[in-house]
Chains A and B, each alone.
Chain A
């Protein structure tokens, strides 16, 4: 078993961390994201697959991409993703080989 998907963030994970951090720590960012997610995410030069998983609230893929779990958790609550939905998405990874289970 392992507690972390990445022991030091990759640049991909860092970019996604940056999005989730800024979304929930700047007063106007969450509103801007909700109004036009594509325009907001374009600020960060994210790879297209990460844009898709953030826009789609794909909790499982965000986790596998190495995002910091605390930022992911705050994002799920801040975006009002239903608790049982985010939990089920994470649990679906228990048997996936990409899940760093140590």
Chain B
């Protein structure tokens, strides 16, 4: 039986790596320090593997065949997928056995994800891993949710995916300690007329609801108001999956700022497990 040593939610944006100087140095350092703090907290739990809940930004998948959910079952993952991303190339070790286990357990739990034996991680996974300074040798299992092309899985279904994920991880006997990083959101628009107009009110209300522990209210708010907070905000599906995996553990924000010049509401938080 494995212990989940940490569950974090954290925003990601390639702007952090490609255009870091669009915000003042002091603010940039504040954000980067928040990611480093997250990384140190993760490391303190000594996880032997990390589940990265993220989304593919149309790199591995195209509209000729786009899965709602996909679980990585590869031995390793190259990154980044984007030729234009200002990040060093790196290869993440994969936990193939854990990925295969999660895939099988998903079917047992009435989920039908696709799986991938060869996946190139994009900025969604790479940015928070890079900024948090997590050990690059920590084996990972990517679990991807479609947040970039409607129609998408519902917010509630994403939460339920997390419920299954948490239960499956706790029942796993292959290793002792596993952590989860859920990355995406919060309010931001990608290549729309609202790009750079972060809906801070949405973000703060969403985080408040996450902290309240009222799951139905959180899911209802996410469902009913995501359209006010940008296409990038659809990535809160990963936060809701983390909420499901946390199985009632209390959530607390560790950082939030609406950063219009990075086009994104940057939020980080963790569950008190």
Contacts and interface: CB of A to CB of B under 8 A. Distances in A.
Contact of A91 (B84, B193, B228, B230): B193
A83 B82 CA distance: 17
Interface residues of B, number: 31
Contacts of B195: 87, 90-91
Contacts, number: 85
A102 interface: yes
Contact of A70 (B18, B84, B191, B228): B191
A30 B14 CA distance: 21
A26 to B, nearest CB: 10
B192 A21 contact: no
Contacts of A74: 57-58, 82, 84
Contacts of A24: 82-84
Contacts of A72: 191
Interface in B216-273: 226-228, 230-231, 233-234
Given A77-B84, A87-B195, A70 B151 contact: no
A9 B66 CA distance: 13
Interface in B29-84: 57-59, 62-63, 82-84
B231 A4 contact: yes
A78 B82 CA distance: 9
Interface in B124-170: 148-151
Nearest to A9: B63
Contacts of B62: 17-18, 21
B150 A76 contact: no
Interface in A54-102: 59, 63, 68-74, 76-78, 83, 86-87, 90-94, 99, 102
B80 to A, nearest CB: 11
A8 B150 contact: yes
B196 interface: yes
Contacts of B230: 3
Contacts of A102: 227
Nearest to A101: B193
B19 interface: yes
B231 A3 contact: yes
A73 B190 contact: yes
Nearest to A60: B193
Interface string A3-31: 11101110000100110010011000010
Contacts of B22: 83
A91 to B, nearest CB: 6
24 contacts: A1-B194, A3-B192, A3-B234, A4-B150, A5-B192, A7-B150, A9-B63, A9-B149, A17-B62, A17-B63, A24-B82, A24-B84, A59-B191, A68-B149, A69-B191, A70-B57, A71-B58, A72-B191, A73-B190, A78-B83, A86-B191, A87-B196, A90-B192, A99-B193
Given A77-B18, A77-B84, 14 more contacts: A2-B227, A7-B151, A9-B63, A59-B191, A63-B192, A68-B148, A69-B189, A73-B190, A74-B58, A77-B14, A90-B191, A90-B192, A94-B194, A99-B193
Interface of B: 14, 18-19, 22, 57-59, 62-63, 82-84, 148-151, 189-196, 226-228, 230-231, 233-234
Q: Which 3 A-B pairs have the closest CB atoms?
A: A69-B191, A73-B191, A3-B231
